[in-house]
């Protein structure tokens, strides 16, 4: 029996766990940015606290979770779990690429905060906080309902 077939349920479980951790960060980091932008002044104690929280969230939770989610997902694709002729597979792929783009955008904003160069308002981060939810809906509907 092929090893991937035997391990497939474990790979799938690992993928789901990693995605949940990644999504938690994608939901929380923009919310931290809202409060950082609205409540802290560059160089004050609160600014330092937010910087540490944002850095640890991105570096210790979000980035490893994203990497594990991608690797487990690609292993499942290699195992033949995707029907590339179906629109749902492309919709999910687009959603995952969107999540990755959101992750990169947030990482760049975290760097701006860390360098004291944030120019965006709390409102911007409130709006961006909705993007992961929209991507989540696209991905879950594509993979579970497979409407196309």
Q: Write out pLDDT tens, residues 81-110.
A: 889 999 999 999 999 999 999 999 999 999
Half-sphere exposure of residue 119: CA atoms within 13 angstroms, side-chain side? 1
Enter the pTM of the model. Answer: 0.94
Q: Which of 82, 88, 75 is nearest to 12 (CA)?
A: 75
Task: Write out the binding residues.
Answer: 15, 92
pLDDT of residue 1: 52
Residue 44 has pLDDT above 90, yes or no: yes
Q: Which of 135, 136, 114, 122 is nearest to 30 (CA)?
A: 122
The answer to whether residues 62 and 25 touch, using CB atoms and an 8 Å cutoff, is yes
Rg (CA), the chain: 18
| Environment class of 6 (CB within 10 Å of its CB; exposed 0-12, middle 13-18, buried 19+) | exposed
The answer to whether residues 88 and 142 touch, using CB atoms and an 8 Å cutoff, is yes
pLDDT of residue 5: 84
| CA 11/CA 57 separation, integer angstroms | 24
Cβ neighbours of residue 14 under 8 Å, at least 6 residues apart?
68, 72
Task: Write out the binding residues for heme.
Answer: 15, 92
As a whole number, the mean pLDDT across the chain is 97
| CA 50/CA 148 separation, integer angstroms | 43
pLDDT of residue 99: 99
pLDDT of residue 132: 98
pLDDT of residue 82: 86
Host domain of residue 49: 3-145
Instruction: Quote the tokens at residue 146.
Output: 């497979």
Q: Domains in the chain: how many in total?
A: 1
Residue, of 79 and 111, whose pLDDT is higher? 111
Residue 4 has pLDDT above 90, yes or no: no
Residue 45 has pLDDT above 70, yes or no: yes
């Amino acid at each position: 029996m092929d090893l991937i077939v035997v391990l497939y349920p474990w790979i799938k479980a690992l993928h789901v766990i990693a995605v949940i951790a990644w999504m938690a960060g994608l939901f929380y980091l923009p919310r931290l940015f809202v409060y950082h932008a609205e409540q802290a002044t560059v160089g004050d104690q609160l600014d330092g606290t937010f910087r540490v929280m944002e850095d640890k969230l991105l570096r210790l939770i979000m980035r490893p979770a994203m990497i594990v989610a991608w690797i487990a997902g690609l292993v499942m694709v290699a195992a033949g779990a995707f029907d590339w002729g179906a629109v749902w597979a492309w919709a999910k792929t687009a959603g995952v690429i969107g999540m990755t783009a959101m992750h990169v955008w947030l990482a760049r904003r975290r760097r701006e905060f860390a360098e004291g160069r944030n120019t965006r308002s709390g409102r911007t981060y409130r709006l961006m906080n909705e993007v992961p939810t929209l991507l989540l809906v696209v991905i879950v509907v594509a993979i579970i309902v497979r409407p196309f």
